[in-house]
Amino acid sequence: MTPPPSISHASVPGDEEAVYTAAGLAVPVAPLGVGGSCAEACDRFSRKADLWALAVVERDGRPVGLVERQSVMGRCAASVEMAALPLVQVMDPSPLLVEANVGLSEIGRRLARLKPPTPQTGFIVVEEGRYRGLGAVADLMLLSIEQSDLRARQLEAAKRQADQANRAKTAFLANMSHEIRTPLNAMMGFAEILEQEVLGPHAIALYREYARDIADSGRHLMDLINDLLDLSKAEAVRQELSEVLIDVSRVASSGARLLSERAARNGVRIVSAVPPSLPPLRADERKLRQMLLNLLSNAVKFTPPDGVVTVGGHVAGNGSLWLSVHDTGIGMSGEELAKAMEPWGQIDNALGRGHVGTGLGLPLTKCLIELHGGRLDVVSTPDRGTTMALVFPAARVEPR
């Protein structure tokens, strides 16, 4: 006799919770022996009205068939000869066998492939190939619903815990940044006093350079603290927008001027090409300035000497406003771009290693533009440059 199909645990793509497996569906109904008759099955069905099927097993407990109620009750009633038929002539010789540790979703998939299931059909649950009980489709549906409800509750609980952890992280960063800023401001102030020789000249000129290094390091640390706190707040959607009507051309020109000196030290030229005719934008001016400076700083950082960084802007056909920063720098591959968009992501190349950075600028910019309902659009080609654009939705663009 051809052995019936079975599901091994190895075929299951992922483990389910232990309770939501075939073992949880197995009803321990006593099976029939392979040498039994149709009359024996009819007798069992007559004594228990809700019994839908019986397993037929060998002496060693291995199932070889399934006798369903509807297939034998009519035969037993037809004649004595029909009732005397051996079980092997009335049973399904290839029932679905499911190992006890198989998950509910896999059972459902197998049932759907084998035959159109109804609430009255089912399968045999086995453990290491030996009969353990019967499983019904109706019970499978009920347990699947219970499992879905449990998972929904677990996801909700996990979300609450994540939200609490995020709030705790933001509160911790806010408190720590406040505590760090106070002594850091004092250190930077004293370093600037020493650098400027306010109280008198240094006996050793090198001390002035050391004081400048201390002040620069303090400013870098302050920038890191501010970026980290802003990113944390933006990710938690805790930042609020102070929206005003903004002259985009003015903000772009101001940002270009702020970074022009740093760019010039690196041999890079910044050009502002934002047309003054752009319509006013309703946004948070401080955050817009922060986003633009992040993009400009990043462009200058990865543009070699004699390169050009251009700030541009236009209104697209759908009414959205694009404020872009294009550079003639080293560009990025898709893998490098994905890394740069992650918090603390740093592009590993010789040009980038020559500049100090936190790795938070682009992720923070992405969070801030999304806070405005927009997006950060990036096009980059290795050795040909990068264009990063802040895309604001048309609803934020005021008609002139």
| pLDDT, mean of residues 199-210 | 86
C-alpha 186/C-alpha 41 separation (Å) is 92
- Tell me the C-alpha distance between 186 and 257, whole Å: 29
Distance separating alpha carbons of residues 342 and 326, to the nearest angstrom? 21
Strands 130-136 and 269-273, by their bridges, are unpaired
pLDDT band at 244 (very low <50, low <70, confident <90, very high): very high
Cα(272)–Cα(258) distance, integer angstroms: 12
pLDDT of residue 12: 41
Report the pLDDT value the prediction gives residue 319, as an integer from 0 to 100.
Answer: 94
Backbone angles phi, psi at 139, to 5 degrees: -70, -35
Question: Do the Cβ atoms of 20 and 147 come closer than 8 Å?
Answer: yes
pLDDT tens for 150-190 read: 889 999 999 899 888 877 776 777 667 667 777 888 888 88
Helices 69-78 + 38-47 axis angle, to 10: 110
State the pLDDT confidence band at 350, using cuts at 50, 70 and 90: very low
Q: Which of 136-140, 181-185, 268-272, 320-324 has the lowest mean pLDDT?
A: 181-185
CA distance 130 to 226: 65
347 pLDDT higher than 60: no
pLDDT at site 3: 47
Q: Categorize the per-residue pLDDT at 1 as very low, low, confident or very high, splitting at 50, 70 and 90.
A: very low
Residues 131 and 56: their CA atoms lie apart, in Å, by: 9
Q: Which residue has the higher pLDDT, 269 or 240?
A: 269
How confident is the model at residue 375, as a pLDDT?
A: 95
3-state secondary structure of 269: strand
Residue in this structure with the two tokens 């839908």, named with its chain if needed: 52
The answer to whether residues 194 and 208 touch, using CB atoms and an 8 Å cutoff, is yes
* Other C-beta atoms lying within 10 Å of the C-beta of residue 66: 25
Q: How far apart are CA 234 and CA 238, in angstroms?
A: 6
pLDDT tops 70 at residue 232: no
Residue with token string 């499911």: 98
pLDDT in tens, 41-72: 888 988 998 888 999 999 999 999 999 888 78
Task: Report the pLDDT value the prediction gives residue 376, as an integer from 0 to 100.
Answer: 94
- One-character DSSP codes across 15-46: PPPTTSBGGGT-B-PPPEETT-BHHHHHHHHH
Model pLDDT, residue 131 = 95
| Cα separation, 111 vs 125, whole angstroms | 13
pLDDT at 141 over 50: yes
Cα end-to-end span (Å), the chain: 85
**CA atoms lying within 13 Å on the CB side of residue 179:** 6
- Could you give the percent of the chain with pLDDT greater than 90? 32
**What's the DSSP call for residue 218?**
H
Question: Do residues 67 and 53 lie in contact, with contact meaning Cβ atoms separated by under 8 Å?
Answer: yes
Cβ 298 vs Cβ 361: under 8 Å: yes
DSSP string covering 110-169: HHHHHS---TT-EEEEEETTEEEEEEEHHHHHHHHHHHHHHHHHHHHHHHHHHHHHHHHH
Question: Can you name the residues that pair with 122 across neighbouring β-strands?
Answer: 136
**Residue 389, beta-bridge partner list:** 324, 377
- 3-state SS assignment for residue 97: strand
Which pLDDT value is given to residue 178?
65
Most trustworthy range by pLDDT among 228-232, 252-256, 331-335: 252-256
The neighbouring-strand residues paired with 6 are 97
Task: Look over the chain and give the mean of its residue pLDDT values, rounded to a whole number.
Answer: 83
- Report, as an integer, the average pLDDT of 222-236: 69
Q: Mean per-residue pLDDT for 183-205?
A: 85
Helices and strands, counts by H and E, the chain = 11, 14
